[in-house]
Structure 1
């Protein structure tokens, strides 16, 4: 994970202990256990929610709009991170047994998730603005723009990979001496051989995260959703208030999840090359760890905010549950009855020509 890797180093030339004692910044065992439980919860709910979105788009609902394409790619980005989380937890507890390649890949998982998902959420807000605020002027243009949605997503992924390259290159598995002991511990952090490179990267990487992974999407969302809310306020629709609540929820959840971490990250980055006490550094790292966990929650909330609040998506979700129940019963009872459960199970899976078998799934 990008910035647990960036800041959890145990020796820092700028940390000064008043009593001239060695300063260990290693997490307390209770903190390690708590972090493991939190990350496990994030992994479980994030895996379930984002997998359901991908299953829905692949088997139950065709991607008919630009937002559909963006949502599918957001789910892919979030799924990359939540799948990496269990391996990160395992390797942190067992000295990175999976080796240096796994260290680099897992260390870069959050970075590529951050940039791709945040930029895609900005794209969704822009598409919603065009669809609602500029609805009359953009109808024909939107039907043609669907052709380019996959190109936009490809560009976002390429940009995210490019921004992740420094993390991939400099993340290394290495031995770190344990303070006050003769043995060493295996670490997977950003590791630099030159001081100048270390100083540049320790400022550049958090600056990129704050600018591209937070400020740019935030500005885009605030501008677009403000215009959308003004348009909805003027609309004479029974669904107006519900739509406004959804818009507010999207913006508020984004700010609540990501603002604390980015403020803590900015504060820590500004103090990186200043003299500071051991206790102050421990407190900052603790705040970073807590706020980072809150930021990770966003990958669990994206499916709820952007997909399952819609009536059609909830219908798809219910049909997935019905199909899973039918298939499991058919498998269990196939040996007992030649009919199985096929007499009363109706699947909502798309047929071979791409159409849905249930009328409620039609757009």
Structure 2
């Protein structure tokens, strides 16, 4: 049975879409990918350390007492599984795939699942903070059952991520290309190749980026307006944290998704220019690294920036004998703000764990 891969099969003539790039001299692209291995390695190590510390802190030093804690733990799990897949993806690009067809499907599928789940969980965190602050009066009575809701929501997020990743599990296969075994998408006919090579990145753009982005812009804009109206001297610090979260998300992911959109739209054109296509490929490689960097920044933005969480983190080093107790603050100050946030709509006081991010 013949299988088709859009990128690898249509290379006999520039009359077919996507061919010209393979008739160009790609030595510079290969050299760039080889050099980026060092960047991927740094991202992998940083992502592993940061997210592993978050998970260890939750397991041994901090109870899961809020919806945000549940979401943060799930984000750390998604991020750490994501960075674990990076080394094998790099090996596949550099040397070909040596681990068999099943592992090819599993690796690419797990990569996709954690990409979707990580982004959707960040949207869940922003929505939870919106409800806790902007809808403080209405949500106060529901906080007692919040942990139950958060577990259900996380389960739904993971199921949605698996569902969105089913095409990856199904269509990624190993096949021979220029005497090298590669792990890429393969299809039974050219029509399927064209359709799914369009739908898969489109779904990633829509569900994996633009949907979380729109949710975060709406929720954090509302949170910022509410904080600025509150009579709390720590509000400006909280606003800066909110702005940092949104800006880092945009800076890390927007360039890659714009290039991915251009790459997808132009994939089926026949009037391709080698220089233009190579420049887009370079841009895709650079912006992909920038997007990967976000999983290293999540522990800082969502966890370690808080005093309570940071103290629990430092206790790990104290218990390991690497740090004196004097470096750990005795303050019981909650995450992201040093005092509770009092809603103008209600007289109840929310700590920052239930206020910002």
Could you say which TM-score interval applies, normalised by the shorter chain? 0.7 to 0.9
* Alignment map for 1:110-121 (pairs within 5 Å): 110-121=111-122
Q: CA deviation at 1:118?
A: 0.8
| Equivalent in the alignment of 1:222 | 217
What's the TM-score, normalizing by structure 2? 0.84
Q: CA deviation at 1:290?
A: 1.1
Task: Report SS of the residue matched to 1:254.
Answer: helix
| Equivalent in the alignment of 1:141 | 142
* Alignment map for 1:285-324 (pairs within 5 Å): 285-324=281-320
Task: Report SS of the residue matched to 1:125.
Answer: helix
Larger Rg computed on CA atoms: 1
The 1:27–1:67 alpha-carbon spacing in structure 2 relative to 1, beyond 3 Å, is farther
| Partner of residue 17 from structure 2, selected from 14, 18, 30 | 14
Between the aligned partners of 2:201 and 2:159, the Cα distance in structure 1 is 20
Between the aligned partners of 1:56 and 1:255, the Cα distance in structure 2 is 28
On the 8 A contact 2:7/2:18 being kept in 1, the answer is no
How many residue pairs match? The answer is 324
Between the aligned partners of 1:214 and 1:70, the Cα distance in structure 2 is 18
1:209 aligns with 2:174: no
Q: CA deviation at 1:360?
A: 4.9
RMSD, matched Cα: 2.6
Task: Report SS of the residue matched to 2:23.
Answer: coil
Between the aligned partners of 2:244 and 2:294, the Cα distance in structure 1 is 12
Q: CA deviation at 1:8?
A: 6.2
* Alignment map for 1:213-292 (pairs within 5 Å): 213-275=208-270, 276-292=272-288
The 1:27–1:116 alpha-carbon spacing in structure 2 relative to 1, beyond 3 Å, is farther
| Equivalent in the alignment of 1:197 | 192
What do the CA deviations read for 1:313-359 (whole angstroms, capped 9, x no partner)? Answer: 11011111111226xx9xxxxxxxxxxxxxx989x9xxxxxxxxx99
| Equivalent in the alignment of 1:338 | none
What do the CA deviations read for 1:75-110 (whole angstroms, capped 9, x no partner)? Answer: 000011111112223344342222222222222233
**Unaligned 5+ residue runs, structure 2?**
335-350, 352-357
On the 8 A contact 1:11/1:24 being kept in 2, the answer is no
Between the aligned partners of 1:14 and 1:296, the Cα distance in structure 2 is 29
| Equivalent in the alignment of 2:34 | 33
The 1:208–1:37 alpha-carbon spacing in structure 2 relative to 1, beyond 3 Å, is same
Between the aligned partners of 2:28 and 2:183, the Cα distance in structure 1 is 15
Task: Report SS of the residue matched to 2:182.
Answer: strand
Q: CA deviation at 1:246?
A: 0.4
What's the TM-score, normalizing by structure 1? 0.83
The 1:101–1:238 alpha-carbon spacing in structure 2 relative to 1, beyond 3 Å, is same
Between the aligned partners of 2:216 and 2:304, the Cα distance in structure 1 is 20
The 1:119–1:307 alpha-carbon spacing in structure 2 relative to 1, beyond 3 Å, is same
Between the aligned partners of 1:324 and 1:302, the Cα distance in structure 2 is 24
